[in-house]
Amino acid sequence: MRILILTNYANGLFLFRRELLEAFLADGHEVLISLPPDENVEKLKGISSGGSVPQIIETPFERRGMNPIRDMRLFCMYRRLLREKKPDIVLTYTIKPNIYGGAACRLAGVRCLCNVTGLGTAIEHGGVLSEILLAMYRFSMKRADRVFFQNQGNMAFLQRHGIGRTNGELLPGSGVNLTEHPFTPYPSEENGLIFLAVLRIMRDKGIEEYFAAAERLKQTHPKLRFMLAGEYEEEERGKYEPEIRRLTQAGILQYVGHVDHVHELMAQSHAIVHPSYHEGLSNVLLEAAACGRPVLAGNVSGCTATFIEGKSGLRFEVRDSDALVDALERFLALTNDERAEMGRCGRAFIEEHFDRQLVIDAYRRVLL
Q: What would the mean pLDDT of 312-337 be, rounded to a whole number? A: 97
pLDDT tens track for 27-50: 999 999 999 998 889 999 999 987
The H or E element containing residue 25 is: helix 10-26
With b meaning 16 or more CB within 10 Å and e meaning fewer, what string describes 287-311?
A: bbbbbbbbbbbbebbbbbbbbeeee
Q: Choose among 114, 87, 117: nearest CA to 100.
A: 114
**CA distances, 226 to each of 38, 130, 223, 251, 258 (Å):** 29, 36, 10, 9, 16
Going by pLDDT thresholds of 50, 70 and 90, the confidence category of residue 84 is very high
d(CA 330, CA 323): 11
Q: Homologous superfamily of 194-353 in CATH?
A: Glycogen Phosphorylase B; (3.40.50.2000)
pLDDT for position 65: 67
pLDDT for position 100: 96
For 150-176, the DSSP string reads SSHHHHHHHHHTTSSTTTEEE--TT-B
Going by pLDDT thresholds of 50, 70 and 90, the confidence category of residue 261 is confident
Parts of the chain belonging to CATH 3.40.50.2000: 2-170, 194-353
The residues, ordered by sequence, that sit 6+ positions from 18 with a Cβ below 8 Å of its Cβ are: 47
d(CA 278, CA 204): 7
Does the pLDDT at position 63 exceed 80?
no
Q: What would the mean pLDDT of 347-366 be, rounded to a whole number? A: 95
SS3 category, 186: coil
Q: What would the mean pLDDT of 359-366 be, rounded to a whole number? A: 95
- Going by their DSSP bridges, the two strands 295-298 and 271-274 should be labelled as parallel
| Radius of gyration, alpha carbons of the chain | 21
pLDDT for position 39: 86
**Direct distance between the N- and C-terminal alpha carbons of the chain, in angstroms, rounded to an integer:** 10
Provide the whole-model pTM.
0.87
CATH of domain 2-170: 3.40.50.2000
With b meaning 16 or more CB within 10 Å and e meaning fewer, what string describes 183-209?
A: bbebbeeeeebbbbbbbebbebbbbbb
